[in-house]
Structure 1
Amino acid sequence: MPKRDEAYMRAQRDGIARAALGVLLEKGVANTSQRDICSAAGVSVGALYTHFATIEEVVVAACTLGNEELPPLKTCETWDEYVEFNVANVYDSRVADAARRIRLAFEFAAKIVTMDKAPAGVAAIHDIQNNYIRDQLQRSFDRGEISLPLGLATTTMIHVQALVGASTQLAMNPSLNRDQWITSLIRSLEITAGRVRIQ
């Protein structure tokens, strides 16, 4: 058998990750087998394990690729744009694809909790949102729109937790009063950031 070059191997790895993402979004972590992933990717189990030592590594690669294929995060020019963009993402948690991504994230998080060590690459997935929120808060601070009384790092953590929590709650419970939930979210973002209201 001829030796496969680096480009071929990279393309096969990405193909497996892309196929895995489709299966994982459709079936969830618990109901996806290596056979499902191999079938969707059109590869053998041996090819799968040539690229990934464990199924968890496949999930990380799939999620990483999925994030890379999403539209780029918006650079917000004002505090109001920051809030509007993030609230729109929270509302999108009810859209089928976004809801499936939230389900995948929580199922995988539950699996990681039972492991001795998180798979390589998980922290980088987390860093995407953390870095985005941190950078947007810094920009608002530099413009004098917020005072960051709790500091940048703490405010970033609070905002990530608030946004993820709101997305999860709205995705999981369609009977929630969305307007009330969003109003509360916006107010919590303002209070924790030290929003300076410009008259």
Structure 2
Amino acid sequence: MSRIDRNEQRVALILQAALQCFLAKGFHQTSMRDIAQAAGVSLGNLYNHFPGKEAIILAVAVAESEELAPMLQRLAAVDGERAQVLAFLQDFHALCRQPEWATLAVEVLAESARNPSVAEAFAANRRQLQQALADALQRVAQRGRRRPALAPALAPALQAQVLLDAIESDALRQGLGEADEADGEPLDIGLLVLLLGARA
């Protein structure tokens, strides 16, 4: 194994350890020493790879982008079929509902409010996802000859934003265990696709 491969492996190990620490203690309560200990590396070695905790959090944003990449590819392949968009929305909802994803999302939101660099890194991921969904929705509308309820230039972007907001909000509540039967029916992704536009 080359030195580059070993370094990449060590960085991946550090990031995985950092994620576990962040999930257990939060960004602010986790120290660099905690991360080094969890990763089984010396503190000096950790600093050789990351100059500080912010650099690790920014690396988490890159990891999120890599995790979302297959979903973006699926959206790019949508050829106008509503079923393809629905399948993406269901898979995205399932991903967001994972307790680890939900917990990390809360940490990201809190850190983003304090740190513009972190806010921009994660916002870039969201913009990319929203644009890919908007493009897919546009192809669905064109194929189905749907007339959007909103101005045509705005409709796909706003629909994508509403869809993602609804899914992330519901998934966050579910993932953090805040939703129960008293809250009513779970989010019906099928109903959300009604936002794709009205028939001409």
TM-score by length of 2: 0.72
1:196 and 2:196 aligned: no
User: Among 29, 41, 51, which residue is 1:43 paired with?
Assistant: 41
Q: Give how far 1:101 is off.
A: 1.1
1:153 and 2:157 aligned: yes
Aligned match of 1:25: 23
| CA deviation map 1:22-57 (0-9, x unaligned) | 333344434432122112222222232333333122
Whether contact under 8 Å (1:21, 1:63) holds in the other structure is: no
Could you tell me which amino acid in structure 1 is paired with residue 51 of structure 2? A
Structure 1 alignment gaps of length 5 or more: none
TM-score by length of 1: 0.72
Q: Give how far 1:58 is off.
A: 0.5
| CA deviation map 1:54-102 (0-9, x unaligned) | 31220231343255257822445521342244235435655xxx12111
Q: Go from structure 1 to structure 2 and tell me whether the alpha carbon gap of 1:92 and 1:53 turns closer, same or farther (over 3 Å shift).
A: closer
Matches within 5 A, 1:1-20: 8-20=6-18
Whether contact under 8 Å (1:20, 1:37) holds in the other structure is: yes
Structure 2 alignment gaps of length 5 or more: none
1:167 and 2:167 aligned: no
Identity of matched residues, %: 24
d(CA) in 2 for partners of 1:72, 1:26: 28
Aligned match of 1:137: 137
Q: Give how far 1:19 is off.
A: 2.5
d(CA) in 1 for partners of 2:86, 2:182: 19
Whether contact under 8 Å (2:14, 2:39) holds in the other structure is: yes
**Number of residue equivalences:** 188
Q: Go from structure 1 to structure 2 and tell me whether the alpha carbon gap of 1:127 and 1:19 turns closer, same or farther (over 3 Å shift).
A: farther
**Higher helix proportion:** 2
d(CA) in 1 for partners of 2:162, 2:137: 12
